[in-house]
């Protein structure tokens, strides 16, 4: 599906949908817990529906109401699923669910869409093999689809976590090895994206489970834990909010984003600080964030300023910040985020290519992007050339191209626009509602 964005400003308030990372962790913990859990204000999107399907395949009973999900958990470990688990486009579901499948006495098959089939999983499966699992790749070594046969029984492994999702998977599953198993010990010589591990640790802490570690390098996890049912609200998703925050920054608009909690464990809340450093006026309330971009009467700055930003902890913010950077008056360097190449697409390469189509002076580095200022950096002057770009079937590329369209000299058309629904189903209708009339 193609979507065409007409340039213009935004104004008003919008509720940001629930966090994908929290919703998926909630679903998986509730699936294994004893009793009935209630997940309030969850994210309903293609990725979380993939997780719901995986949880049902493990045997959980799940009912979906408009504002909550009820999960009747297994109160223990699942039986091997009769059918392959298809995670669709959801990397988080794939990586986190595979740890759970390793606990199962039997075989689970995993598959996913063509982007999932290109996302590396060998380090995680090697570690699960160190703990006693058997792995069989069905097409390409190191990539889905594959079969995994458990159960794992603790032990020692070392794992390079180019993605934090490998470690989150081990942390969610290893406490559930049967009482009397060996403790699990993990050495982690490399770890990107620590905040996502903190999200996992926050959920485990709520369950009374506290893996021991020395500054994230070496971990000891005791066996024999159980999950219990819970009733919890899900905070708004800062990765989704990033698109609206950047749109306000790029167009000199003022927005109020509701449902966001700056005390939550999501790392992507750091985007708020980056945009403030670039000159936006930000106001933080208990469950809302206000932002006004340079050029708006409520923002003292007249231009977005440049700088160097380390995105290692917040790789999902790279596409939107790259578009935003094109509106700054000085060069912007987005650095130390090589793992952005391992997502739904190689987001460094794809953003460089598509922003070049829109006339942006941008170059790729192995670990990030350098974006140089537009010829006329004045607020209100167009920063992108009108044209047609590709979304590459990647939700975050699609949404980044759409916000670029707001600051272009004419319409911008992006294809594969339906994939915004992977994490932000109402993205295009929300943009339309927020148009300054
Ligand atoms: O654990 C999670 O919930 C996630 C971790 C991140 O992956 P990386 O740790 O590979 O960045 C992020 O890209 C993904 O959207 C969600
Ligand atoms: C990388 C992402 O997700 P996942 O790893 O869950 O596919 C994302 O949402 O940008």
Nearest CA to ligand 2 atom 4: 91
Last residue of a domain, one of 183, 205, 233: 233
- Which numbered atom of ligand 1 lies nearest the CA of 95? 1
Ligand lying closest to the C-alpha of residue 395:
2
7 & 26 share domain: no
* CATH number of the CATH domain containing 37: 3.65.10.10
27 & 160 share domain: yes
- CA 406 centroid distance within chain: 24
Ligand lying closest to the C-alpha of residue 87:
2
Q: What is the pLDDT of residue 63?
A: 98
Last residue of a domain, one of 233, 260, 277: 233
Model confidence pLDDT, tens digit, residues 323-344: 999 999 999 999 999 999 999 9
* Interface ipTM: 0.96
Q: Would you state the structure tokens that stand for residue 207, as one six-digit string?
A: 């369950």
Distances (CA, A) of 322 to 271, 310, 318, 336, 373: 12, 13, 6, 14, 12
280 & 414 share domain: yes
Q: What is the pLDDT of residue 279?
A: 98
Q: What is the pLDDT of residue 375?
A: 80
pLDDT beneath 50: ranges in the chain = none
Model confidence pLDDT, tens digit, residues 228-264: 999 999 999 999 999 999 999 999 999 999 999 999 9
314 & 199 share domain: no
What ranges make up the beta strands (E) of 302-343? 307-310, 332-335
67 & 197 share domain: yes
Nearest-angstrom CA–CA distance, 216 and 235:
25
37 lines ligand 2 (CB under 6 A): no
Last residue of a domain, one of 233, 259, 292: 233
316 labelled ligand-binding = yes
257 & 153 share domain: no
Beta-sheet strand order (sheet of 3-5): 3-5, 412-414, 387-389
Q: How many domains does the chain have?
A: 2
423 lines ligand 1 (CB under 6 A): no
225 & 349 share domain: no
Nearest-angstrom CA–CA distance, 96 and 234:
18
159 & 260 share domain: no
Nearest CA to ligand 1 atom 13: 316
The residue range of the domain holding 30 is 20-233
């Amino acid at each position: 599906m193609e979507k065409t964005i007409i340039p213009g400003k935004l104004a008003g308030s919008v509720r940001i949908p629930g966090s994908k990372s929290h919703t998926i962790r909630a679903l998986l913990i509730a699936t294994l817990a004893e009793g009935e859990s209630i997940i309030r204000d969850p994210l309903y999107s293609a990725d979380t529906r993939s997780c719901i399907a995986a949880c049902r395949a493990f045997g959980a009973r799940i009912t979906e109401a408009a504002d909550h999900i009820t999960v009747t958990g297994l109160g223990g470990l699942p039986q091997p699923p009769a059918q392959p688990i298809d995670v669709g486009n959801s990397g988080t579901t794939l990586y986190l669910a595979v740890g759970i499948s390793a606990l199962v006495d039997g075989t689970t098959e995993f598959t996913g869409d063509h982007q999932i089939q290109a996302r590396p999983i060998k380090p995680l499966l090697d570690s699960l093999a160190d703990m006693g699992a058997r792995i069989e790749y069905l097409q390409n070594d190191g990539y889905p689809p594959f079969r995994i046969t458990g159960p794992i029984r603790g032990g020692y492994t070392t794992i390079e976590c180019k993605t934090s999702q490998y470690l989150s998977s081990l942390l969610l599953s290893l406490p559930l090895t049967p009482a009397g198993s060996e403790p699990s010990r993990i050495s982690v010589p490399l770890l990107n994206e620590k905040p996502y591990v903190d999200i996992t640790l926050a959920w485990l802490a709520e369950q009374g489970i506290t893996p021991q570690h020395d500054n994230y390098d070496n971990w000891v996890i005791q066996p024999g834990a159980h999950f219990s049912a819970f009733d919890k609200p899900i905070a708004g998703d800062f990765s989704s909010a990033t698109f609206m925050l950047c749109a306000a920054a790029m167009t000199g608009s003022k927005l109020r984003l509701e449902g966001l909690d700056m005390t939550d464990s999501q790392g992507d809340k750091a985007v708020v600080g980056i945009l403030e450093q670039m000159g936006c006026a930000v106001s933080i309330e208990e469950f809302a964030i206000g932002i006004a971009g340079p050029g708006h009467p409520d923002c003292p700055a007249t231009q977005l300023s440049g700088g160097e930003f380390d995105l290692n902890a917040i790789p999902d913010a790279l596409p939107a910040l790259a578009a935003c950077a094109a509106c700054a008056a000085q060069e912007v360097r987005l650095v130390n985020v090589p793992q952005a190449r391992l997502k739904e697409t190689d987001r460094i390469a794809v953003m460089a290519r598509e922003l070049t189509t829109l006339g942006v002076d941008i170059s790729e580095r192995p670990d990030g992007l350098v974006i140089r200022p537009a010829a006329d950096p004045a607020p209100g002057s167009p920063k992108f050339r009108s044209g047609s770009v590709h979304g590459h079937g990647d939700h975050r590329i699609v949404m980044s191209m759409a916000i670029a369209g707001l600051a272009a000299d004419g319409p911008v058309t992006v294809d594969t626009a339906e994939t915004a629904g992977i994490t932000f189903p109402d993205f295009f209708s929300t943009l339309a509602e927020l148009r300054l009339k």
